Amino acid sequence: MTPEQIELAAAILWKATTSTHPLASLPESAIPRTRADGYAVQQALARLSGQQGYGWKIASSSSAGQRHLNVDAPLAGRLFINRVLPTTRPISLNANRMKVGEAEFAFRMAKDLPPRGEPYGVGDVMASVGALYPAIELPDSRFIDYTKVGAPSLIADNACAHEFVLGDEVKIDWRSLDLSKHCVMVTRNGESNCQGLGSNVLGDPRIALTWLANELNTYGLMLRASETITTGTCVVPFALAAGDRFSTDFGALGSVTISLTD
């Protein structure tokens, strides 16, 4: 894509973000055809937003997430600080078209992982992590039918990033745990509905975080100290409606509960 095409796509997506009119698709001349194009548009979108970055998200890091978006690989997106919400007030679903909740393992970085010529290993990445948190993501898309636009356009659409809720920092020795086998229970309105495992996230949330570090490395981007990274849903994206009380229970790692309104 030319710089002009990148800026056009970003401007159209930003307008859709700030209005109630979703897109059928981007104009033919502004459709990203590669992942690199998608990340270039995403970076321009972040600049247009004027919002402070909070961290990163991984979309479709589970097979359920990939089926939900109709893609065959994970996607990286940016979290913005004004979309990080507290658990102390109801969250509106009025402008959210996806209307699903996701239970996610989130990490906070303690050190930068700058671009380099060789891939990062799990050990390298985890040595740069400062903390672990339970989290909920409420994703959304600026496209009417996000299952048809393809991975590059979804990356440009910030990998369906929308709203994010971070739980309390895990205080136990989580590094000694096998997160791939860690069970997460999801409840709606007090009723247990489904459960997932850390292994649903690219085999292990730590592997998912390493994937993100290397995905960004490929495109000249990086994870930075103090950023929060949510690694993708470890349960099937759960349908929500106004009035629901949605809880994710990570057992010894803590829990997160939100209330939803119109």
How do the domains of the chain map onto residue ranges?
A: 52-261
Q: Could you name the CATH architecture of 52-261?
A: Alpha-Beta Complex (3.90)
- What torsion do the CA atoms of 168, 140, 98, 152 make, to the nearest 10 degrees? -130
At residue 262 the predicted structure's pLDDT band, cuts being 50, 70 and 90, is confident
Q: Is 224 exposed, middle or buried (0-12, 13-18, 19+ CB in 10 A)?
A: middle
pLDDT tens track for 41-88: 999 999 999 999 999 999 998 877 788 888 989 999 999 999 999 999
Residue whose pair of structure tokens reads 């109709």 in the numeric block: 70
Least confidently predicted of 6-15, 16-25, 162-171, 173-182: 16-25
| pLDDT average, residue stretch 210-233 | 96
Instruction: Assess whether pLDDT exceeds 90 at residue 193.
Output: no
Residue, of 251 and 21, whose pLDDT is higher: 251
Instruction: Assess whether pLDDT exceeds 80 at residue 115.
Output: yes
Mean residue pLDDT across the chain: 94
pLDDT tens track for 77-106: 999 999 999 999 999 998 898 999 999 999
The Cα 22–Cα 68 span in angstroms is 18
Q: Is residue 44 classed as helix, strand or coil in its secondary structure?
A: helix
The Cα 255–Cα 99 span in angstroms is 20
Least Cα distance to 139 among 154, 151, 129 occurs for 154
| pLDDT average, residue stretch 191-207 | 91
The Cα 145–Cα 69 span in angstroms is 9
